[in-house]
């Protein structure tokens, strides 16, 4: 285990103060492992500290945090794990590194469809998996996920890897709605419509549309806000201006949504403070900060989305339980490999 822990630790990109500088058992602190970049969550943590007086210590990494907590075992300093996607939330539960959150506050703030039935993960914000469409080359204003397999899109579609957690979540939702056999047929059709092998992140897909490499792409809603407000890289504003968002299946079952969320670590040394943090993040105040700074959809009822998000159009979310989607992730991953999705079109 020591060897495994050293390997995992060496692979992590730690961006904030190490816990060695802040004893895990100190009063008035909470230790956070985060897949979410520090600049995204800092406004929330600042508000939490101002509200409660509890100091936050954060370790950030793009991967391996769940495995790190598992390797640390009883000695893990982690109180909570902040992450994105139902796959990682459910994956933490499957790793055995979580414990149920028992809180009337959380249960009152977060609807049941955005919580694990056994309390092992809590959804905090929604993002929709939408279609980015070229303003110049795509005339239609509506689309469905099923339409993405229509041959009319042959050579016109871009997306990231089929094995990325965001893509797996969408495919898992298709399995939940249509079954594995029909989803396999659909996924093979989508593969044949690809303009290139799946590559890059969601912003890269919008860049590809701007460059004329494809006409439509699959991506998360909040990337539009990040590009539209990116003063450090103004070319991203041009990418964003070249597309508009289409909400798939808006007139039927609704658009697939996924979660950013949090789990309470199994061996949390500051459990009471960790629960206070989770309760705060579920509050209207924190949800409003999420909405304004990260361009995400609050899950707490009654909290409005930001004006920028409103400008993209109305979201009708698929009310399929995220827990049901999580059950189909393994099948989704197997289908990606079975149809050779990441190899790109056959011809």
**Residue that wins the pLDDT comparison between 267 and 4:** 267
CA distance 90 to 102: 18
Banded pLDDT at 2 (limits 50, 70, 90): very low
Q: Are residues 55 and 172 in the same domain?
A: no
**Residue that wins the pLDDT comparison between 13 and 254:** 254
Name the token pair of 173.
Answer: 């939702």
User: Is 222 annotated as contributing to ligand binding?
Assistant: yes
Give the CATH number, domain containing residue 30: 3.40.190.10
Q: How far is CA 55 from the centre of its chain?
A: 26
CA 179 → CA 30, 64, 186, 338, distances in Å?
A: 42, 31, 11, 15
Q: Are residues 251 and 261 in the same domain?
A: no
The residues that bridge with 216 in the sheet, in sequence order, are: 133, 157
Strands 55-60 and 216-220: unpaired
Q: pTM, whole model, 2 decimals? A: 0.85
Strands 80-84 and 29-34: parallel
Q: Which of 244, 247, 224 is nearest to 236 (CA)?
A: 224
Confidence check: pLDDT of 1 > 60: no
Q: Are 125 and 294 in contact (CB under 8 A)?
A: yes
CA distance 243 to 221: 12
Confidence check: pLDDT of 11 > 60: no
Q: Are residues 133 and 250 in the same domain?
A: yes
Confidence check: pLDDT of 324 > 90: no
DSSP 115: B
User: Is 145 annotated as contributing to ligand binding?
Assistant: no
Name the token pair of 255.
Answer: 């658009």
Tell me which residue range forms the domain holding 193: 128-255+318-343
Confidence check: pLDDT of 160 > 60: yes
Q: Are 238 and 207 in contact (CB under 8 A)?
A: no
Q: Are residues 25 and 12 in the same domain?
A: yes
Q: Are residues 176 and 32 in the same domain?
A: no
Domain count, the chain: 2
Q: Are residues 280 and 244 in the same domain?
A: no
- Name 256's Cβ contacts closer than 8 Å, sequence gap at least 6: 128, 129, 145, 169, 170, 173, 248, 249, 318, 320
């Amino acid at each position: 285990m020591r060897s495994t822990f050293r390997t995992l630790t060496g692979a992590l990109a730690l961006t904030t103060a190490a816990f060695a500088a802040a004893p895990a058992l100190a009063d008035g602190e909470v230790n956070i492992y985060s897949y979410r970049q520090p600049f995204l969550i800092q406004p929330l943590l600042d508000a939490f500290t101002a509200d409660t007086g509890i100091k936050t210590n954060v370790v950030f990494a793009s991967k391996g945090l769940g495995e790190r907590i598992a390797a640390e075992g009883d000695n893990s300093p982690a109180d909570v794990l902040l992450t994105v996607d139902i796959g990682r939330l459910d994956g933490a539960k499957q790793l055995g590194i979580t414990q149920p959150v028992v809180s009337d506050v959380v249960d009152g703030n977060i609807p049941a469809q955005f919580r694990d039935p056994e309390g092992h993960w809590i959804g905090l914000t929604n993002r929709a998996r939408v279609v980015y469409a070229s303003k110049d080359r795509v005339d239609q204003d509506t689309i469905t996920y099923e339409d993405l397999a229509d041959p009319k899109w042959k050579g016109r579609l871009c997306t990231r890897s089929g094995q990325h957690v965001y893509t797996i979540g969408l495919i898992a939702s298709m399995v939940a709605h249509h079954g594995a056999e029909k989803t396999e047929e659909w996924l093979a059709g989508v593969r044949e419509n690809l303009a290139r092998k799946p590559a890059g992140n969601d912003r890269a897909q919008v860049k590809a549309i701007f460059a004329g490499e494809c006409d439509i792409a699959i991506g998360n809603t909040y990337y539009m806000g990040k590009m539209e407000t990116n003063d450090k890289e103004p070319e991203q504003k041009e990418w964003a201006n070249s597309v508009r968002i289409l909400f798939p299946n808006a007139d039927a079952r609704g658009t697939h949504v996924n979660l950013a969320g949090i789990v309470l670590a199994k061996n949390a040394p500051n459990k009471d403070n960790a629960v206070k943090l989770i309760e705060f993040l579920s509050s209207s105040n924190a949800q409003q900060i999420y909405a304004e700074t990260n361009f995400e959809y609050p899950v707490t009822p009654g909290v409005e989305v930001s004006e920028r998000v409103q400008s993209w159009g109305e979201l009708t979310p698929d009310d399929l339980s995220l827990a049901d989607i999580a059950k189909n992730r393994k099948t989704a991953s197997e289908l990606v490999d079975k149809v050779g999705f990441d190899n790109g079109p056959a011809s």
